[in-house]
Amino acid sequence: MGAGFKCLNCLDEQGMPGKVVPGDIPLCACGVDGRLPEYKNYIFARVSTHFDAPHDVLRGRGCGKRACDDKSTTGENVSSSGHTAAVTCEQCMKTDSYKKWAAIQGTPTIPEEHDMAL
Number of domains in the chain: 2
60 & 21 share domain:
no
Quick check: 92 and 69 in contact, CB under 8 A? no
Residue 115 lies in a domain: no
The string of pLDDT tens digits covering residues 22-40 is 989 999 999 999 999 999 9
100 & 83 share domain:
yes
Looking at residue 88, what is its pLDDT? 81
Model's pTM, two decimal places? 0.61
Which helix or strand (DSSP H or E) is residue 101 part of? helix 96-105
Residue 110 lies in a domain: no
Provide the β-strand partners of residue 54.
62
34 & 53 share domain:
no
What CA–CA distance (Å, rounded) separates 105 from 31?
42
81 & 41 share domain:
no
* Range of the structural domain that residue 34 is part of: 5-45
Considering the chain, what percentage of its residues have pLDDT values greater than 90? 32
* Averaged confidence pLDDT in the chain: 85
